[in-house]
Chain A
Amino acid sequence: MNRRDFLKLSSLAGGGFALAFCLRSGGEARAADSASGGDFKPNAFVRIAPSGAVTIVSKQPEMGQGVKTSLPMIIAEQMEVPWQGITIEQGDFDEKLYGGQSAGGSRSTPNNYDTFHLLGATVRTMLVQAAAQTWGVPVAECRAENAAVIHTSGKKLAYGQLTVKAASLPVPDKEQVTLKPAKDYKLLGKRIAQIDTPRIVTGQPLFGIDVKLPGMLYAVYEKCPVFGGKVVSANLDFVKTLPGVKDAFVLEGNGKVKELRAGVAIVADSTWAAFSARRQLKVTWDEGAVAGQSWDTFVAEARTKSAQPGQRVLRKDGEVDAALASAAKTVSAEYLYPFISHANLEPQNTTAHWKDGVMEIWSPTQIPTIGTGMVNRVLGIAPEKIKLHLNRAGGGFGRRIGADYLIEAAAIAMKVPAPVKLTWSREDDLRHDQYRPGGLHFLKAGLDSSGRISAWKNHFFTFGEGGSPGSGGSLSPDEFPGRWIPNYLAEQTMFETGWPMGPWRAPGSCVFAWVFHSFIDELAHAAGRAPLEMRLELLGTRDEMPAGSGGGGKGKQNAGYNVARMRNILKFTAEKAGWGKRKFPKGSGAGIAFHFSHSGYFAQVAEVTVSKDGQLRVDRFVTGGDIGEQIVNLSGAENQVEGSVVDGLGTLLTQELNIERGRVVQGNFHDYPLIRITEAPLKIETHFLSTKYPTTGLGEPALPPVAPAICNAIFAATGKRVRQMPLSRVDLRWS
């Protein structure tokens, strides 16, 4: 056996066996050798004890997207073990052992799907071989079923009885491993409750904020309300005299608003002592240049510049001005959406312990390497001296891709002779997020005499940090309907700010789909066309839309748009919703929208009622999604879609941050209200269309069409076009 061509098997104490597994960068199964470095990264995911107990390690960070359940389901399916009784352990951060551990971009499923099938099937193959050898019969006469191997004669050995033998076998290469076909699946596609459910419903410690270590202290960290501000002075001597306070000190920070910001740390013997002392902390800040930047000023400036050429041409096809001049009809509109926060219900937190030159960290994080990389770079701690434990996160939505809170905790820990837990207050969380950037779109489109969109012009105003648009603030040259309209011009003007921005669930898509699918709806109505028919005509008859020459960069997401899949899901969803089959009374109506992002094709239909005094109720919301061949966990998949629908609606209803003089005005849920159960749709229906394509992720792609579907339904119900988020600023009253 050439070790490099095989998966490695190593015996474990207690007679269990572990399958060490390895990924090359392309995700292909390869040789593993725990002693070698460089090209190969050995991993250990599966353990079977002689008792038959099966343990699967989940390497991905869990934040409510369900990967701690769904990805191990794949391994269990192929291993042919029942789900009941399986133990799932959360793996620590160790990418040498496990391969990549990033959870973002709806990539956890597609990045691991094939590998985990192979991993589980390899374990099953070895157990079958072990049984065949034990009995001295051909492997072909044996099959695996329900955690046992059964011979054609009827004799049977449980997996637990085969561990010692299996541990002595070479690991077969993948050509010798047969995957269980989809028709034999017992787990995949079923509704399985999250593995952590018993701990969640009984309140057991699970989240980052629940970490408690012996001798642990509690920290808060006060930062300048103005982004990028620095500490001039603070009443540290007084604060140190307050009850329970162990220490108080200034951190200079590294000058980066998304890394270690300047601030004042208070370390105390309880969270409340730290919170209380903070109320008596007095800091003189050097607010810096960002204190001159306000949202309202930028919006006013955008409006004065909207008719001028943008700073950059993002995409230009044909002759848009000539086409607009010759159009049978033109429509112009301004769309505006504000900055918003992620508002994870679990405020940012991290526990860190600096001891004997090792930084040990417990953190709810989405992309561990960002935090450890920052600890290495900013604090000068060697990577091998950083240990990171991954805690369940109380919501992600992209916020915990940033690791500002993690580096703060580590920096504080370096000055404290004990483990220390940093807890952000809700106010910290809202005022020091990495925000979804706001934006404005000044749109003008032309319709030809047959009611087709002949021209589309967009002057897009976005917000930048460090010379380029913030995350989600880049409009791809290939963003729909770019490439579909013969005369098309997208221009960009960017306001440089010192405001921190970061990925917010379906970055870019979460707002662009609202703007463009609302405007397409305006065009359909202006042309007297049916909204669905107009969209199908716009998509056209070709099956593939290749990436445009203006693509690349952040446009990669949209490259290679499979138009046939979109057409199919649009028709599928319209049928499931009974689109066009019902007549609504005045005040009620239906709207439709679609979007492709994060490898998923989604269409959605909203049915709403708006009362005469302008109150919106979503009566029914129907989603059709094509994320490829196989739904892994149907309950988890539906939950992601239901959550996306509620999130898309909640964002539309009330969410906005006012940034005035470089600081966020809102501070807590009384002035930054989140959607409540009273506003949730009465009925959410989710339908998946299985297609022959690889299975992809669900954290994001169901969200983008939610807001436009609802706003288009509001128009159908009331004749009022929503061109501004949030709806709390829009008068929906009708008579």
Chain B
Amino acid sequence: MKYILNVNGQSRTVDVPPDTPLLWALRDNLELTGTKYGCGVGQCGACTIHLNGVPARACMTPVSTVGRMKVTTIEGLAENGKMHPLQQAWSELDVAQCGYCQPGQLMTAAALLKDNPRPSDADIDGAMAGNICRCGTYVRIRQGIKRAAALAAGGKETAQ
């Protein structure tokens, strides 16, 4: 089946069976491999993308259900060539270890900051609980989100 998807602001066509998870359409057909496979059952969050700005698990989203929703992947997080404050903060604080989960972490965090520009530790833990980091970078993820919030607010504040 042919599907026309809106991915990172571009119209992209994939020809896949209807039950194909968006994850594999992105990775195998559209060569957007930033969205990761970790569990296939919505448990780890490595495949987190945005559908109309809302975080979703690409591994649990059949291509046939996407329709005209706007798909944003990690490759589309930076806008007009400018890194998202989270991407800047992740670089500043060297958040990643292996880095495999981080696209999913960033996409979840980006949705959090959009709804809540100044999240507390509890807000962060609540929003990020669906994303596993096997390397254990959680303390830096908390710091990274706070730093990004500060950067977005004008960059004067430093991370706590």
- Using CB atoms and an 8 Å cutoff, list the residues of chain A in contact with chain B: 63-66, 191-194, 196-198, 200-207, 209-210, 212, 218, 243-244, 270-273, 275-276, 343-347, 392-397, 423, 425-426, 635-636, 639-640, 642-647, 650, 668-670, 674-678, 680-684
Contact = CB atoms under 8 A, between A and B. Distances in A.
A541 B70 CA distance: 68
Given A344-B134, A677-B128, A194 B94 contact: yes
Question: A interface, by DSSP: helix, strand, loop or mixed?
Answer: loop
The 3 A-B pairs at the shortest CB distance, nearest first, are namely: A203-B34, A646-B136, A64-B98
B142 to A, nearest CB: 7
A271 B100 contact: no
A65 B24 CA distance: 28
Nearest to B43: A669
B157 interface: no
Contact of A203 (B32, B97, B126): B32
Nearest to A273: B17
A646 B142 CA distance: 14
Given A212-B33, A272-B21, A426-B41, A192 B94 contact: yes
B40 to A, nearest CB: 6
A200 B43 contact: no
Most buried by A among B17, B44, B129, B134: B134
B157 to A, nearest CB: 19
B61 interface: no
Contact of B74 (A202, A640, A644): A202
A209 B36 contact: yes
Nearest to B142: A677
Contacts of A64: 96-100, 135
B77 interface: yes
Contacts of A271: 24, 27-28, 37
Contacts of B90: 197, 200-201
B141 to A, nearest CB: 6
Contacts of A196: 96, 99
B37 A347 contact: yes
A63 B100 CA distance: 10
Contacts of A202: 34, 74-75, 77-78, 83, 87
Question: B interface, by DSSP: helix, strand, loop or mixed?
Answer: loop
A630 B36 CA distance: 36
Contacts of B136: 642-647, 650, 675, 680
B99 A426 contact: no
B77 A674 contact: no
A276 B33 CA distance: 20
A204 B46 contact: no
Contacts of B124: 677
Contacts of A678: 125-126, 129
B74 A203 contact: yes
Interface in B92-106: 92-94, 96-103, 106
Contact of A425 (B31, B40, B44, B134): B40
A674 B132 contact: yes
A206 to B, nearest CB: 7
B114 to A, nearest CB: 17
Given A203-B75, A346-B36, A684-B139, A636 B28 contact: no
Most buried by B among A347, A642, A677: A677
A66 B101 CA distance: 16
B140 A668 contact: no
A394 B31 CA distance: 19
A646 B32 CA distance: 30
Contacts of B44: 345, 669, 674
A347 B94 contact: no
Given A345-B44, A345-B134, A636 B94 contact: yes
Contacts of A670: 41, 43
B140 A212 contact: no
Contacts of A210: 27, 33
B24 A203 contact: no
B64 interface: no
Contact of B94 (A243, A639, A684): A639
Nearest to B34: A203
Most buried by A among B28, B39, B124: B39
Interface string B118-160: 0001001110111111111111111000000000000000000
Contacts of A65: 97
Given A346-B98, A676-B129, A677-B128, A203 B138 contact: no
Contacts of A206: 99
A392 B98 contact: yes
15 contacts: A197-B99, A201-B103, A202-B83, A203-B73, A203-B103, A204-B34, A209-B36, A346-B36, A346-B38, A395-B134, A423-B37, A646-B135, A668-B41, A677-B124, A677-B133
Interface in B40-81: 40-41, 43-44, 46, 73-75, 77-78
A24 to B, nearest CB: 32
Nearest to A430: B39
Interface in B3-39: 16-17, 19-21, 24-25, 27-29, 31-39
Contact of B37 (A209, A273, A393, A397): A209
Contacts of B16: 270, 272
A158 B83 CA distance: 32
Given A63-B98, A203-B34, A674-B134, 19 more contacts: A197-B91, A202-B77, A209-B33, A275-B40, A392-B98, A392-B99, A395-B97, A395-B100, A636-B94, A642-B137, A646-B139, A675-B138, A676-B129, A677-B125, A677-B131, A678-B125, A678-B129, A680-B136, A680-B139
Most buried by B among A66, A202, A395, A640: A202
B158 to A, nearest CB: 14
B27 A276 contact: no
A272 B17 contact: yes
Given A346-B100, A395-B135, A677-B129, A426 B40 contact: yes
Contacts of B74: 201-203
Contacts of B135: 64, 345, 395, 643, 646-647
A343 B134 contact: yes
Nearest to A346: B100
A598 B69 CA distance: 51
Contacts of A423: 37
Contacts of A63: 98
Nearest to B124: A677
B34 A669 contact: no
A640 B136 CA distance: 9
B94 A197 contact: yes
Contacts of B86: 201
Nearest to A210: B33
Contacts of B141: 677
A194 B35 CA distance: 20
A194 B41 contact: no
Given A212-B31, A395-B135, A272 B24 contact: yes
B98 A345 contact: yes
B37 A270 contact: no
Nearest to A209: B37
Contacts of B94: 191-194, 197, 635-636, 639
Nearest to A427: B40
Contacts of A194: 94, 96, 99
Contacts of A645: 136
Most buried by B among A347, A636, A639: A639
A600 B130 CA distance: 34
Contacts of A681: 139
B20 to A, nearest CB: 5
